[in-house]
Amino acid sequence: MSKVIPHSFFTEFDIDLFKAGKHFRLYDKLGSHLTEVDGVKGTYFAVWAPSAKSVCVIGDFNYWTTGEHELYVRWDGSGIWEGFIPGVDKGTKYKYKIHSHNNDIWTEKADPFARYCEQPPNTASLVWDAPHKWQDSKWMDTREEKNGLDRPYSVYEVHLASWKKKNGWESLSYLEMADELVDYVDEMGFTHVEFMPVMEYPYDPSWGYQLTGYFAPTSRFGKPEDFKVLVDKFHQRGIGVILDWVPSHFPEDAHGLGFFDGSHLYEHPDRRRGYHPDWKSLIFNYGRNEVRAFLISNAVFWLDQYHVDGLRVDAVASMLYLDYSREDGEWEPNMYGNNENLEAMSFLREMNQEVYASFKGVQTIAEESTAFSGVTKPVHYGGLGFGMKWMMGWMHDTLEFFKKEPIHRSYDLNAITFSMTYAFTENFMLPFSHDEVVYGKKSLLYRMPGDEWQRFANLRLMFGYMFTHPGGNLLFMGGEFGQSSEWNFQESLEWHLTQYDFHSGIQEVIKDLNKLYRTSPALYEKQFSPDGFQWIEYNDRENSVVTYIRKGNDPKDNLIVACNFTPVPREDYRVGVPKHTQLKLVFNSDDAKYSGSGMGKKTLKPSKTTWNGHEQSVLMTLPPLSVVVYK
């Protein structure tokens, strides 16, 4: 095997951008790249290791021998080591062996920019390219229109390893999911799918949130090009793809980013800012230019190379606060004496600016659980620049309300109505995510009180309330058919339950709610604006009923929604309406096809009886534990 030949992909301008933290396409330069030099085929390697005394490439091509293929350090102080090794082909396994100036330490690391990794528990990187002829031009050409904030966002959250198993234990491959999962999401009517992290991770119980291969789709389900096929197939069906992205922390695994070159290269050197006590993981040094460039390049990579349509950014709250999960004395205030992580805030703003400037029709979504102000406000107005934010307060209040026996709900009706006091302070997405069906919290179905009929009626009601509340929606897999058990990442969803009427009824409810959402401008055109919502009655505690109007750009599209949170039917329940126009029922969660009781009126004719501040009103029949929607 030939020795390392001096070669570089970097220009002086690249290096200047890298040092300044402004190079957001580092994946084109760093890592391993199949190339040809002077007519000889091989692989170019480049790695950032400024504290290194030497860096060599070890792999199956040189029998993992240290010192055989030593890279050259650049003369410009960038800390980049690089070189071309002839004859190294696609599929070659390799790592970097780094000898550090720091106490003469040796580290053996996977490539931070590897495009493909060995399947865990193995940890080597693979030289790879992922050719794919994209067939999603129709989606990409119209994505800006379809993926805007004034369009429907009904998201199906998926853990790829446990959505469905074959042979009772084996996860589906990317290619198998390109058939089965795409068909299912399309059939159910979701507008988007969101994958829990697909980037390579070593430890299955982390669900993918402890990443070691930031630029590589996990090899558990196939090759990188297979994952491109999966994204492509979703796009061909008109379904957007959102990826969970984790710039908040990373594990201390020996082959990962931690103590990479014998120094605190990627993580903050101060343990008070560089270690996460909850997750026993390391926190990125957001104040280091090269680290910011690494992370923003990673966000750009998935949008660029894999055509994804959005990034849901995990654990944003943990990034924003220096005292997150820390007691007094375990954190240090910022330069202004408060608890905000100014460097992380600056990083998030810059990331969002780059993403929105470079890609039309994409969205970033923050999982941010505090009252931090301006998460979805534009950067030029002092915000963080996200497109949407998970509405965690709504989720907690809603689940707490629904677990109560209906007889007690009249005392806590404000848990349902309170969200409207802040619903438009951010662009909110309403999440019933994986976090709500684990760790003893029970499944959504078994949080509901009452007998079997009431459990399912409550769940149908909760979903109807969710879809008619302002904002986008997210539902974790299994919830759409009323899975009985908590989610278990090692097992398949309980698909056998769908043979039973109550469970198939929940599926039909979700299908119809998705259709209602997609086809009703009143539910999405102004979903982030107070102009899109109006209370009719929010304080009828005696009956535990709330009524409201959802509004679109055209008043003819407006919808009237009534929620009955008790199992007592309400005959001739009077509701004030804004116009003297016949109303038509467009959704009833108590419909017999959902295994409901089948109560409710198909049409309503207003009378000139003043009610709820309106000059006319209708007499509704509100079925037990139901939501009805009229147009």
Catalytic residue check, 323 = no
Q: Is 414 exposed, middle or buried (0-12, 13-18, 19+ CB in 10 A)?
A: middle
Task: Please tell me the chain's helix, strand, coil percentages from 3-state DSSP, rounded to the nearest 5.
Answer: 30, 25, 45
Alpha-carbon gap, residue 284 to 268, rounded angstroms: 6
Phi, then psi, of 77 in degrees rounded to 5: 75, 15
Give the residue from 588, 531, 594, 570 showing the smallest Cα distance to 406. 570
Q: What are residue 137's phi and psi, to 5 degrees? A: -60, -35
Structural tokens at position 196: 């829990």
Q: Where are the beta strands (DSSP E) in 397-511?
A: 428-432, 472-476
Burial class from Cβ neighbours inside 10 Å (0-12, 13-18, 19+) for residue 335 reads exposed
Catalytic residue among 314, 354, 436, 480: 314
Length of the chain, please? 631
Query: Would you say 32 and 85 are in contact if contact means Cβ atoms under 8 Å apart?
Result: no
Q: Residue 98, exposed/middle/buried by CB under 10 A (0-12, 13-18, 19+)?
A: buried
In angstroms, the CA 423 to CA 538 distance is 15
Can you read off the two tokens belonging to residue 62? Answer: 């040189």
Identify the H or E element spanning 604: strand 603-604
Alpha carbon 159 to chain centroid, angstroms: 11
Task: Quote the tokens at residue 592.
Answer: 């017999």
E-assigned strand segments in 117-269? 125-126, 154-158, 165-166, 170-171, 192-195, 199-200, 213-217, 240-245
- Verify whether residue 157 is a known catalytic residue: no
- CB-CB contact of 243 with 159 (8 Å): no
DSSP H/E element including 228: helix 224-236
Shortest CA distance to 342 belongs to which of 321, 373, 369?
A: 321
**Region of residue 189 (left: phi > 0; alpha: psi -120 to 50; beta: else):** left
Helix (H) and strand (E) counts for the chain? 13, 30
**Cα gap 498→508, rounded to integer Å:** 11
Residue 577 corresponds to which amino acid?
Answer: V
For residue 250, the one-letter residue type is F
> Of the residues 354, 367, 525, 591, which is catalytic?
367
**Which of 555, 534, 276, 564 shows the shortest CA–CA distance to 424?**
534
CB 617 within 8 A of CB 606: yes
Active site residues: 314, 367
